[in-house]
């Protein structure tokens, strides 16, 4: 049998004494893709931060390629193959675009040429400092920077948040291309449920730190009533 790339077993985690996530369990196979949905403040980012090692884990285990990484510090997890695109992008403002890409790069199929090919805009801006970019460009850089570490699992925390519709389309297309050609798995947190579901194989929905639904993405996408009940469709709100 093939062992999952990542599995969470009954994870309870939060910040200091404050528990945010409780009883989180799921498996992600190698090359798998998972959408994490839910309203604001339900713990989606906390789940990503827990996978990276930035929260306190009160109970449960995180297993990566068969090894327990529950207590490992973030830089070890990154080196073990987990790539992170933070919700706030967190571009290094005092580094050039190219330095942002190379500062933590590790060998693999994602090279400078490959990410410039995926995001031609970054090639044009390579000499600019991180703080001279537009929101969309910063998001491209955050994704490209994580790709340059050649992760086996990419964590994307609301990569489309706050971007103009045209940029959303451009980025979604890039993510689609990336996931089609990529060898790796990814977890996509997204408010745009339709886009997230169309990009992934499976999905889970969080509600106040617990998993309230999990199943194939296509199934959820085809059931607008369930979607509306679980997260409230964005279109319905607007």
Partner 1 sequence: MLSVLGMLFDGIAYGMLLFLMSVGLSVTLGMMNFVNLAHCSFAMLGGYVTVTLMNDAGWPFFATLPIAFVAAAAASVVLERVFFRRFYHAGELPQCLLTIGIVFVSIAAAAYIYGTDQQPVQLPDYLQGSLHLMGLDFAVYRLVLIAIALAITVLLVVTVEATRFGAKVRAAVNNQRMARGLGIDVDTLFAVTFALGSGLAGLGGALAIAMLGLDPSFALTYLIYVLIVVAVGGLGSIAGSFAAAMLLGVADLAGKYYIPAFGSILIYVVMLAMIMVRPTGLFGRR
Ligand X SMILES: Nc1ncnc2c1ncn2[C@@H]1O[C@H](COP(=O)(O)OP(=O)(O)O)[C@@H](O)[C@H]1O
Answer for which of 10, 58, 106, 109 binds partner 1 (CB under 8 A) is 106
Q: Which does 68 bind (CB under 5 to 8 A by kind): partner 1, ligand X, Mg ion, none?
A: none
For 229, what's the count of Cα atoms within 13 Å in the CB-facing half-sphere?
A: 7
Give residues with Cβ within 8 angstroms of 59, minimum separation 6: 10, 11, 12
| Rama region for 53: left / alpha / beta (φ>0; ψ in -120 to 50; rest) | left
Answer for which of 75, 127, 229, 234 binds partner 1 (CB under 8 A) is 75
Residues composing the chain:
238
Cβ pair 191, 161 in contact under 8 A: yes
Residues 42-81 that bind ligand X (CB under 6 A): 42-46
User: Residue 14 or 32: which CB sits closer to ligand X?
Assistant: 14
User: Residue 89 or 192: which CB sits closer to partner 1?
Assistant: 89
Q: Give the nearest distance from C-beta 103 to partner 1 in angstroms.
A: 5
Query: How far, in Å, are 19, 21, 26, 49 from residue 14 at the CA level?
Result: 4, 6, 18, 9
Q: What tokens does 47 get?
A: 């789940």
User: Residue 22 or 137: which CB sits closer to partner 1?
Assistant: 137
Cβ pair 161, 87 in contact under 8 A: yes
Q: Which does 38 bind (CB under 5 to 8 A by kind): Mg ion, ligand X, partner 1, none?
A: ligand X
By CB under 8 A, name the binding residues for partner 1: 52, 54, 73-75, 78-79, 84, 86, 90, 92-95, 99-100, 102-104, 106, 145-146, 149
């Amino acid at each position: 049998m093939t062992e999952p790339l990542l599995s969470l077993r009954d994870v309870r985690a939060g910040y200091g004494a404050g528990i945010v996530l409780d009883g989180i369990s799921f498996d992600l196979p190698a090359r798998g893709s998972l959408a994490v949905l839910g309203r604001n403040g339900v713990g989606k980012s906390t789940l990503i931060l827990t996978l990276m090692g930035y929260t306190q884990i009160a109970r449960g285990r995180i297993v990566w390629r068969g090894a327990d990484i529950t207590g490992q510090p973030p830089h070890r997890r990154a080196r073990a193959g987990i790539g992170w695109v933070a919700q706030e992008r967190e571009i290094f403002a005092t580094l050039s675009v190219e330095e942002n890409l190379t500062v933590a790069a590790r060998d693999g199929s994602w090279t400078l040429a490959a990410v410039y090919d995926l995001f031609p805009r970054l090639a044009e801006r390579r000499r600019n400092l991180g703080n001279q970019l537009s929101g969309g460009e910063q998001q491209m850089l955050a994704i490209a920077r994580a790709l340059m570490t050649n992760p086996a699992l990419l964590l994307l925390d609301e990569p489309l948040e706050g971007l103009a519709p045209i940029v959303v389309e451009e980025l979604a297309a890039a993510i689609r291309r990336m996931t089609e050609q990529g060898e790796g798995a990814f977890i996509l947190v997204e408010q745009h449920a339709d886009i997230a579901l169309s990009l992934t194989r499976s999905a889970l929905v969080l509600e106040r730190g617990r998993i309230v639904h999990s199943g194939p993405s296509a199934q959820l996408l085809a059931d607008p009533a369930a979607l509306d009940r679980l997260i409230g469709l964005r279109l319905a709100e607007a």
